[in-house]
Amino acid sequence: MVGATGFEPATPCSQSRCASRLRHAPILLEYSFAQNERNAENLRVDPLSLAKRLLEAGPICDPCLGRRFALLPGGLPNAERGALLRQALGFGPTLPERCWVCGGAFARVPFWAEKAAELAQGYEFRTFLFGVHLSPRLEATEEFLAEKFPSPWAEPLRRHLNRALGQAFEEVLRARGRTATVDYARPDLQFLVDIEKDKVELRVNPVVFYGRYRKLARGLAQTTWTCPHCRGRGCEVCGGTGKLAATSVEELVLPVFLEATGGTGGHLHGAGREDADARMLGRGRPFLLTVESPRRRAIDLAWVAEEVRRRSGGAVELLDLQPATPELEEKVKAGKFAKRYRARVAFSAPVEPEAFAQAVGSLVGEVRQRTPERVRHRRADLVRRRRVLSAQGRLLSPTEAELELTCESGLYVKELVSGDQGGTEPSLAGLLGVPAQVTELDVLDILDDAGVVPPEPAD
Q: For residue 336, what is the enclosing H or E element?
A: none
Averaged pLDDT score across all residues of the chain: 88
What is the percent of the chain with per-residue pLDDT over 90, rounded to a whole number?
A: 78
- pLDDT bin (cut points 50, 70, 90) of residue 450 is low
163-172 pLDDT, tens per residue?
999 999 999 9
Residue 454 has pLDDT above 80, yes or no: no
Mean pLDDT along residues 321-335: 94
Is the distance from CB of 25 to CB of 143 less than 8 angstroms? yes
Is the distance from CB of 433 to CB of 426 less than 8 angstroms? no
- E runs forming strands in 156-231: 181-182, 189-194, 199-204, 207-215, 220-221
Cis peptide before 156 (omega within 30 of 0): no
Residue 26 has pLDDT above 80, yes or no: no
Strands 265-270 and 278-292: antiparallel
Is the distance from CB of 188 to CB of 135 less than 8 angstroms? no
- pLDDT bin (cut points 50, 70, 90) of residue 266 is very high
Residue 405 has pLDDT above 60, yes or no: yes
203-248 pLDDT, tens per residue?
999 999 999 999 999 999 998 877 777 877 888 777 777 777 778 9
Residue 388 has pLDDT above 50, yes or no: yes
Q: In the prediction, which pLDDT does 235 show?
A: 85
Using alpha carbons only, give the angle 300, 303, 307 rounded to the nearest 5 degrees.
145
Is the distance from CB of 316 to CB of 308 less than 8 angstroms? yes
Q: Which of 348, 315, 343, 346 is nearest to 440 (CA)?
A: 343
Classify 347 as helix, strand or coil.
strand
More confident residue, 239 or 332: 332
Q: Which of 414, 426, 408 is nearest to 359 (CA)?
A: 426
Name the packing angle between helices 105-120 and 157-175 (round to 10°): 50
- pLDDT bin (cut points 50, 70, 90) of residue 36 is low
Output DSSP code: residue 9: P
Domain architecture of the chain: domains with CATH: 21-204 (no CATH), 207-334 (3.30.70.2510), 339-450 (3.30.70.3190)
- pLDDT bin (cut points 50, 70, 90) of residue 7 is very low
Q: Is the pTM of this model over 0.85?
A: no
More confident residue, 399 or 11: 399
For residues 362 and 189, what is the distance between their CA atoms, to the nearest angstrom?
56
For residues 88 and 90, what is the distance between their CA atoms, to the nearest angstrom?
6
Alpha helical stretches, state H, 157-291: 157-175, 249-261
363-382 pLDDT, tens per residue?
999 999 999 988 887 778 88
Residues listed for the chain: 459
More confident residue, 11 or 286: 286
Is the distance from CB of 222 to CB of 274 less than 8 angstroms? yes
Residue 18 has pLDDT above 60, yes or no: no
For residues 238 and 225, what is the distance between their CA atoms, to the nearest angstrom?
10
- pLDDT bin (cut points 50, 70, 90) of residue 40 is very low
Q: For residue 325, what is the enclosing H or E element?
A: none
Residue 8 has pLDDT above 60, yes or no: no
User: What are the Cα distances from residue 134, in Å, to 156, 332, 412?
Assistant: 11, 38, 54
For residues 70 and 52, what is the distance between their CA atoms, to the nearest angstrom?
16
Residue 197: half-sphere exposure toward Cβ, Cα within 13 Å: 8
Residue 30 has pLDDT above 90, yes or no: no
Residue 419: half-sphere exposure toward Cβ, Cα within 13 Å: 16
Q: What is the dihedral of CA 263, 268, 269, 273, to 10 degrees?
A: 180
Is the distance from CB of 316 to CB of 249 less than 8 angstroms? yes
More confident residue, 21 or 279: 279
More confident residue, 11 or 342: 342
Cβ neighbours around 323 below 10 Å, total: 13
305-323 pLDDT, tens per residue?
999 999 999 999 999 999 9
Residue 21 has pLDDT above 80, yes or no: no
Least confident residue range of 47-51, 378-382, 428-432: 378-382
Is the distance from CB of 389 to CB of 366 less than 8 angstroms? no
- pLDDT bin (cut points 50, 70, 90) of residue 417 is very high
108-130 pLDDT, tens per residue?
999 999 999 999 999 999 999 99
Residue 10 has pLDDT above 80, yes or no: no
Which residues does residue 316 pair with via DSSP β-bridges, in sequence order?
215
Classify 403 as helix, strand or coil.
strand
- pLDDT bin (cut points 50, 70, 90) of residue 459 is very low
What is the percent of the chain with per-residue pLDDT over 70, rounded to a whole number?
A: 88
Output DSSP code: residue 13: -
Q: Which of 139, 122, 121, 150 is nearest to 40 (CA)?
A: 150
131-141 pLDDT, tens per residue?
999 999 999 99
Q: Give me the active site residues, please.
A: 275
